[in-house]
Amino acid sequence: MATMQVELVSPEKVVFSGEATQVITRTLGGGEIAFLPGHAPFLGALDTCHTRVSLADGRQLDVAVHGGFVQVNGNTVSILSDMAELADDIDRGRAMAARDRAQQLMVQEASGEAKAALSRAQARITATGGL
């Protein structure tokens, strides 16, 4: 099976580096996009989302990605994220509590900050297995 190199980097660390068969993420204004080995060159801004990396060994890596960029060049997919969290590192209870707080804040005032907090919480919850 064909593979590609995937680099997932945040300002703090390299979150993941390895071989994969597919990457699915969400771009701003473009919706979800899937990358397979041999994909055409691509550059896009990332939305806050649940990103899925299908590893070469058959496992799936679930990641909450909070903005940034995705670039495909040759047989490499690079995700440069403002912040990225592996599902195993996310406290699901804390994420659900953050979602509830953000939803309450949205009712009181539909601010950009409340919307961003809700998006971050939702990405974390989805990365850990959904609702």
Q: What is the pLDDT of residues 22-68, one digit of tens each?
A: 999 999 988 899 999 999 999 999 999 999 999 999 999 999 999 99
- Residue 4 near residue 18, CB atoms below 8 Å: no
- Residue 111 near residue 105, CB atoms below 8 Å: yes
| 131, pLDDT greater than 70 | no
Domains of the chain (ranges; CATH) run 4-87 (2.60.15.10), 90-127 (no CATH)
pTM: 0.85
91, β-bridge pairs: none
Would you state the structure tokens that stand for residue 61, as one six-digit string? 């890596």
Report pLDDT for 47.
94
What's the whole-number mean pLDDT along residues 87-93?
Answer: 88
Other beta carbons less than 10 A from residue 30's beta carbon: 11
E strand map for the chain? 4-9, 14-27, 31-35, 42-55, 60-73, 76-81, 84-86
Other beta carbons less than 10 A from residue 53's beta carbon: 23
- Residue 88 near residue 15, CB atoms below 8 Å: no
Please report which confidence band the pLDDT of residue 108 belongs to, taking 50, 70 and 90 as the band edges.
Answer: confident
d(CA 102, CA 99) in angstroms, rounded, equals: 5
34, β-bridge pairs: 24
